[in-house]
Amino acid sequence: MDEVLPEEFDVILIGTGLPESVLSGALSRIGKNVLHVDSNEYYGGSWASFNIKTFDKLMSETQMHQEDNSNPVNLEALISEDEEFLLMSASQQNLSNCQSYCYLSKQPDWVVATNVVEPNVVAEPDEVEISDDKDSPVDVATTAPTMVQKHSDTEDLSCRDVDFEERNNSDNDNEKPGVSDKQSGDPAKEKSTDNDSRNGQVDAFNNATSEEKLENASDQSSQADLPHKETPLFPFYEKFYENWRRFNLDLSPKVMFSRGQLVELLIQSNVCRYLEFRNVTRTLTVLSGENRLQPVPCSRADVFKSKFVTVVEKRILMRFLTLCANFEQHPQEYEAYKDRPFQDFLQSKHLSTKVQHFIIHSIAMVSEQTSTMEGLHATQKFLKSLGRYGSSHAFLCPMYGVGELPQAFSRLSAVFGGTFCLRRRVIGIVADKTSRAVKGVIDSTGQKIKCQHLVLDESHLPDICRSGFKREVSRAIYVTDKSVSPSETEEVSLITLPPVGNFPLYRVIEAGPLCCLSPNNYYVVHALTKPSCVDENAIVDLKETFHSAEKTMFAGTAAELEIANNNESDKQKPAVLWAAYFNMMSCGVNNDSLPGNVYVMSSPGFELGFDKAMNEARRTFEIICPDEEFLPRAPEPEEIVFDDEGYKSENNGNSRENPNEQPEAGNGDYMETEEDLQEEEEPDVQGLIDQEQGVGDHVSDGNGDNA
Amino acid sequence: MASRAPQRPNNASPQGKICQFKLVLLGESAVGKSSLVLRFVKGQFHEYQESTIGAAFLTQTVCLQDTTVKFEIWDTAGQERYHSLAPMYYRGAQAAIVVYDITNQDTFARAKTWVKELQRQASPNIVIALAGNKSDLSNKRMVDHDEAAAYSDENGLLFMETSAKTAMHVNDIFLAIAEKLPKNDAGGTAANRPTSGVDITQGGGSNPQGGCCGRSQ
Rounded-to-integer distance, Cα A210 and Cα A581, Å: 15
Return the residue in B3, B59, B63 with the most chain A beta carbons within 10 A, the one to mutate for interface testing.
B59
Cα separation values, B171 from B19, B30, B44, B46, B168, Å: 18, 20, 12, 17, 8
Please tell me which residue, B81 or A163, carries the higher pLDDT value.
B81
Q: Are A625 and A497 in contact (CB under 8 A)?
A: no
Is A188 a residue whose pLDDT tops 80? no
Return the H-helix or E-strand segment holding A575. Answer: strand A575-589
Per-residue confidence at A198, pLDDT binned at 50, 70, 90?
A: very low
- Burial bucket for residue A69 (CB in 10 Å: 0-12, 13-18, 19+): exposed
Is A216 a residue whose pLDDT tops 70? no
Per-residue confidence at A111, pLDDT binned at 50, 70, 90?
A: low
Residues of B in contact with A489 (CB under 8 A): 215, 217
Residues A385/A389/A393/A395 CA torsion (nearest 10 deg): -60
Q: Give Cβ neighbours of residue A453 (< 8 Å, ≥ 6 apart).
A: A10, A11, A12, A438, A597, A598, A599, A624
Is A260 a residue whose pLDDT tops 80? yes
- Contact at CB, B4 and A416, closer than 8 angstroms: no
Please tell me which residue, A314 or B9, carries the higher pLDDT value.
A314
- Contact at CB, A660 and B213, closer than 8 angstroms: no
Which of A20-24, A221-225, A387-391, A498-502 has the least mean pLDDT? A221-225
Please tell me which residue, A640 or A271, carries the higher pLDDT value.
A271
- Contact at CB, B43 and A391, closer than 8 angstroms: no
Could you tell me which chain A residue has the CA closest to the CA of B212?
A389
Which of A462-476, A681-695, B127-141 has the least mean pLDDT? A681-695
- Contact at CB, A659 and B14, closer than 8 angstroms: yes
For residue A469, what are the β-bridge partners? A587
Residues of B in contact with A282 (CB under 8 A): 217
Residue A660's pLDDT is what? 39
Which of A358, A356, A286, A290 shows the shortest CA–CA distance to A508?
A286
Residue B85's pLDDT is what? 93
Residues of B in contact with A277 (CB under 8 A): 197-198, 200
Residue A587's pLDDT is what? 84
Backbone dihedral region of A556: left (phi > 0), alpha (psi from -120 to 50 degrees) or beta?
A: left
For strands A426-432 and A83-87, give the pairing. Answer: antiparallel
Please tell me which residue, A40 or B57, carries the higher pLDDT value.
A40
Alpha carbon of A21: minimum distance to chain B alpha carbons (Å)? 12
Could you tell me which chain A residue has the CA closest to the CA of B39?
A648
Alpha carbon of A43: minimum distance to chain B alpha carbons (Å)? 7
Alpha carbon of A697: minimum distance to chain B alpha carbons (Å)? 21
Alpha carbon of B139: minimum distance to chain A alpha carbons (Å)? 24
Residue A686's pLDDT is what? 42
- Contact at CB, B198 and A279, closer than 8 angstroms: yes
A417 closest CB neighbour out of B15, B52, B76: B52
- Contact at CB, B42 and A266, closer than 8 angstroms: no
Residue A598's pLDDT is what? 95
Residues of B in contact with A422 (CB under 8 A): 82-84
Could you tell me which chain A residue has the CA closest to the CA of B86?
A407
Quick: pLDDT tens for B102-136.
999 999 999 999 999 999 888 889 999 999 999 99
Per-residue confidence at A119, pLDDT binned at 50, 70, 90?
A: very low
Q: What is the mean pLDDT of residues B16-28?
A: 91
A654 closest CB neighbour out of B6, B14, B61: B61
Residue A32's pLDDT is what? 96
Alpha carbon of A307: minimum distance to chain B alpha carbons (Å)? 15
B212 closest CB neighbour out of A389, A417, A658: A389
Percent of chain A with pLDDT over 90: 52
Quick: pLDDT tens for A35-47.
999 999 999 999 9
Which of A113-122, A364-373, B18-27 has the least mean pLDDT? A113-122
Return the H-helix or E-strand segment holding A479. Answer: strand A466-480
Residues of A in contact with B87 (CB under 8 A): 407
Per-residue confidence at A656, pLDDT binned at 50, 70, 90?
A: very low
Rounded-to-integer distance, Cα A417 and Cα B51, Å: 9
Q: What is the mean pLDDT of residues B22-35?
A: 93
For strands A34-37 and B158-161, give the pairing. Answer: unpaired
Per-residue confidence at B14, pLDDT binned at 50, 70, 90?
A: very low
Is B10 a residue whose pLDDT tops 60? no
Map residue B106 onto helix, strand or coil.
helix
Alpha carbon of B9: minimum distance to chain A alpha carbons (Å)? 8
Q: Give Cβ neighbours of residue A399 (< 8 Å, ≥ 6 apart).
A: A275, A276, A277, A278, A515, A516, B197
A272 closest CB neighbour out of B12, B70, B200: B200
- Contact at CB, B203 and A388, closer than 8 angstroms: yes
Is A50 a residue whose pLDDT tops 50? yes
- Contact at CB, A647 and B41, closer than 8 angstroms: no
- Contact at CB, A274 and B56, closer than 8 angstroms: yes
Q: Are A403 and A49 in contact (CB under 8 A)?
A: yes
- Contact at CB, B42 and A278, closer than 8 angstroms: no
Which of A109-123, A411-425, A511-525 has the least mean pLDDT? A109-123
Per-residue confidence at A137, pLDDT binned at 50, 70, 90?
A: very low
Per-residue confidence at A66, pLDDT binned at 50, 70, 90?
A: low
Residues of B in contact with A259 (CB under 8 A): 205
Q: What is the mean pLDDT of residues A108-113?
A: 62
Cα separation values, A393 from A104, A257, B178, Å: 35, 10, 38
B18 closest CB neighbour out of A278, A660, A663: A660
Map residue A240 onto helix, strand or coil.
helix
Quick: pLDDT tens for A582-612.
999 888 888 788 888 999 999 999 999 999 9
Rounded-to-integer distance, Cα A533 and Cα A428, Å: 33
- Mean pLDDT of the residues in chain B: 82
Which of A331-345, A421-435, A458-472 has the least mean pLDDT? A458-472
- Contact at CB, A670 and B121, closer than 8 angstroms: no
Please tell me which residue, A19 or A217, carries the higher pLDDT value.
A19
Is A650 a residue whose pLDDT tops 60? no
Per-residue confidence at A112, pLDDT binned at 50, 70, 90?
A: low
Listed ranges A76-90, A125-139, A662-676, B8-22; the one with the highest mean pLDDT: A76-90
Quick: pLDDT tens for A333-370.
999 998 899 999 999 999 999 999 999 999 999 988 89
Return the residue in A411, A516, A648, A675 with the most chain B beta carbons within 10 A, the one to mutate for interface testing.
A411
A–B CB contacts, 8 A cutoff, strictly below: 211
- What's phi and psi for A536, nearest 5 deg? -70, -15
Which of A1, A28, A82, A11 shows the shortest CA–CA distance to A449?
A11
Cα separation values, B210 from A322, A387, A600, Å: 20, 7, 39
Rounded-to-integer distance, Cα A158 and Cα A127, Å: 9
Quick: pLDDT tens for B131-167.
999 999 999 999 999 999 999 999 999 999 999 999 9
Quick: pLDDT tens for B173-186.
999 999 999 987 44
Please tell me which residue, A127 or A92, carries the higher pLDDT value.
A92
For residue B68, what are the β-bridge partners? B18, B63
For strands A8-14 and A448-457, give the pairing. Answer: parallel
- Mean pLDDT of the residues in chain A: 76
- Contact at CB, A387 and B210, closer than 8 angstroms: yes
Per-residue confidence at A401, pLDDT binned at 50, 70, 90?
A: very high
- Contact at CB, A645 and B43, closer than 8 angstroms: yes
Q: Are A514 and A524 in contact (CB under 8 A)?
A: no
- What's phi and psi for B68, nearest 5 deg? -105, 125
∠A605-A608-A613 over CA atoms, to 5°? 55
Per-residue confidence at A309, pLDDT binned at 50, 70, 90?
A: confident
Question: Helices (DSSP H) in B21-64: which residue ranges?
Answer: 33-42
Residue A697's pLDDT is what? 36
Which sign, positive or negative, has the C-alpha torsion A391, A394, A399, A400?
A: negative
Quick: pLDDT tens for A533-585.
666 667 788 999 999 999 999 999 999 888 876 555 567 899 999 999 999 98
Return the residue in B62, B107, B201 with the most chain A beta carbons within 10 A, the one to mutate for interface testing.
B201
Q: Are A283 and A275 in contact (CB under 8 A)?
A: no
For residue A530, how many other CB atoms are within 10 A of its CB?
A: 14
B213 closest CB neighbour out of A282, A389, A417: A389
- Contact at CB, B212 and A414, closer than 8 angstroms: no
Q: What is the mean pLDDT of residues A363-380?
A: 93
Rounded-to-integer distance, Cα B213 and Cα A386, Å: 13
Quick: pLDDT tens for A442-456.
998 999 999 999 999
Is A403 a residue whose pLDDT tops 60? yes
Rounded-to-integer distance, Cα B26 and Cα A611, Å: 35
Is A694 a residue whose pLDDT tops 80? no
Q: Could you give the domains of chain A?
A: 281-398+679-707 (1.10.405.10)
Q: Give Cβ neighbours of residue A179 (< 8 Å, ≥ 6 apart).
A: A111, A114, A173
- What's phi and psi for A396, nearest 5 deg? -125, 160
Per-residue confidence at B60, pLDDT binned at 50, 70, 90?
A: very high
A258 closest CB neighbour out of B92, B203, B215: B203
- Contact at CB, B89 and A411, closer than 8 angstroms: yes
Listed ranges A505-514, A567-576, A670-679, A684-693; the one with the highest mean pLDDT: A505-514
Alpha carbon of B170: minimum distance to chain A alpha carbons (Å)? 16
Listed ranges A205-214, A498-507, A617-626, A697-706; the one with the highest mean pLDDT: A617-626
Q: Are A498 and A289 in contact (CB under 8 A)?
A: no
Per-residue confidence at B36, pLDDT binned at 50, 70, 90?
A: very high
Residues of A in contact with B72 (CB under 8 A): 637
- Name the pTM for this structure: 0.80
Rounded-to-integer distance, Cα B24 and Cα B90, Å: 6
B204 closest CB neighbour out of A648, A658, A670: A670
Which of B147, B39, B41, B33 shows the shortest CA–CA distance to B96?
B33
Per-residue confidence at B69, pLDDT binned at 50, 70, 90?
A: very high
Residues of A in contact with B212 (CB under 8 A): 389-390
Could you tell me which chain B residue has the CA closest to the CA of A38?
B84
Return the H-helix or E-strand segment holding B58. Answer: strand B58-63
Map residue B26 onto helix, strand or coil.
strand
Per-residue confidence at A687, pLDDT binned at 50, 70, 90?
A: very low
